[in-house]
């Protein structure tokens, strides 16, 4: 659901409720403002948890002139670009953990009456977009043997939020065996239990799906010998 706020025929809308991104990646936060006159401005604010709201920068309605707030210590990390006439995009090229916050855009209207600037201004805020910056997501495969059974463990670490979907394959088909999952604070584990004889000379793949992933994260476990499997992981998350 989008929340649109308006005053005197002008509206501001932030279509994205939240984003979860890894540090050192890029982030884009959109704000749609309609009805701005050339004398109006669009402002971007940041509010970290437990802190007061602070302005980062502001840009003129045409999107041609950006002024960073000298009182914001991270203002140089941000830029803004106007797109499609009424959309203003706040951009961060290299995310840091400290960029986790709620970001608000606002428009400011200066009222003019008979060519004289009235002595007050109106600033209207959007609903806000939360940006969560996380560490690098990792997927690991572990292997155990006991009582004629092979236990294949697929661990997804540093996932935020911790909602993860696992899929196991054996060759090109879905793997058959007993499945168990465990969810801790920062690690989600899926365990596939198969007969030891069946595990030998087969290739197993753990596929992890997580919010914001461009591609599924895959780990392959190959059993060319009786003793030790070869493990290869592709960290695409």
Judge if pTM exceeds 0.75: no
User: Looking at the structure, do residues 144 and 226 belong to the same domain, yes or no?
Assistant: yes
Determine whether 5 is exposed, middle or buried from the number of CB atoms within 10 Å of its CB (0-12, 13-18, 19+).
middle
Range of the domain at 160: 138-234
Domain boundary among 134, 152, 178: 134
Residues 177 and 228 in one domain: yes
pLDDT the model gives residue 59: 93
Angle subtended at Cα 25 by Cα 15 and Cα 23, rounded to the nearest 5 degrees: 100
Report which secondary-structure segment, H or E, holds 203.
strand 203-210
At residue 98, the pLDDT reads 92
Do 213 and 127 sit in the same domain of this protein? no
Is residue 38 located within the same domain as residue 113? yes
Number of CB atoms found within 10 A of residue 115's CB = 5
Same domain, 190 and 122: no
Last residue of one domain, picked from the residues 79, 100, 134:
134
Residues 130 and 142 in one domain: no
Residue 51: CB atoms within 10 A of its CB come to: 9
Residues 166 and 121 in one domain: no
Preceding omega of 140 cis (within 30 degrees of 0): no
Mark whether 118 and 172 lie in a shared domain.
no
When divided into structural domains, the chain yields a total of 2
128 and 143 in a common domain: no
Indicate the residue among 75, 104, 134 that finishes a domain.
134
**Residue-wise pLDDT tens for the chain (237 aa)?**
334 444 556 788 999 999 888 888 899 999 999 888 777 889 999 999 999 999 999 999 888 999 999 999 999 999 999 988 789 999 999 999 999 999 999 987 665 555 554 444 668 899 999 998 887 666 767 777 777 888 888 877 766 666 778 888 887 788 777 777 777 766 788 888 888 777 776 778 888 777 655 455 555 555 543 444 445 554 444
The answer to whether residues 19 and 122 belong to one domain is yes
Residue 45, classified by CB atoms within 10 Å of its CB into exposed (0-12), middle (13-18) or buried (19+), is buried
Q: Residues with Cβ < 8 Å from 113, sequence gap 6 or more? A: none
Comparing C-alpha atoms, which of 115, 117, 114, 59 is closest to residue 91?
Answer: 59
Q: Label residues 171-205 b or e (16+ Cβ within 10 Å = b).
A: eeeebebeeeeeeeeebbbbbbbbeeeebeebbbb
User: 157 and 143: one domain?
Assistant: yes
**pLDDT given for residue 123 in this prediction:** 80
pLDDT reported for residue 58: 94
Q: What is the CATH number of the domain that holds 172?
A: 2.60.40.10
Same domain, 148 and 171: yes
Q: How many CA atoms, within 13 angstroms, populate the side-chain half-sphere of residue 34?
A: 7
**pLDDT on residue 93:** 92
> Which residues 6+ apart lie within 8 Å of 88 measured at CB?
30, 31, 32, 33, 42, 44, 59, 63, 80, 81, 82, 105
């Amino acid at each position: 659901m989008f929340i649109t706020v308006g005053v005197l025929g002008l509206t501001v809308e932030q279509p994205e409720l939240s984003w979860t991104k890894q540090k050192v990646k890029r982030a884009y936060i959109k704000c749609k403002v309609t009805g701005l006159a050339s004398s109006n401005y669009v402002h971007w604010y940041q509010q970290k948890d437990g802190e007061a709201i602070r302005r980062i920068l502001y840009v003129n309605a045409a999107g041609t002139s950006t002024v960073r707030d000298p009182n914001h210590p991270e203002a140089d990390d941000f830029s803004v670009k106007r797109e499609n006439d009424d959309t203003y995009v706040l951009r961060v090229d290299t995310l840091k953990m400290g960029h986790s916050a709620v970001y608000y855009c606002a428009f400011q209207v200066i009222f003019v009456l008979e060519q004289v600037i009235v002595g007050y201004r109106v600033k209207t805020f959007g609903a806000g977009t939360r940006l969560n910056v996380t560490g690098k997501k990792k997927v690991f495969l572990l292997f155990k043997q006991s009582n004629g059974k092979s236990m294949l463990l697929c661990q997804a670490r540093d996932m935020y939020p911790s909602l993860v979907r696992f899929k196991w394959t054996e060759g090109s088909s879905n793997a058959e065996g007993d499945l168990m999952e465990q969810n801790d604070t920062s690690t989600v584990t899926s365990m596939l239990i198969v007969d030891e004889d069946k595990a030998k000379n087969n290739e197993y793949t753990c596929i992890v799906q997580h919010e914001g992933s461009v591609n599924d994260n895959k780990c392959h476990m190959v059993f060319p010998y009786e003793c030790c499997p070869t493990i290869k992981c592709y960290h695409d998350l």
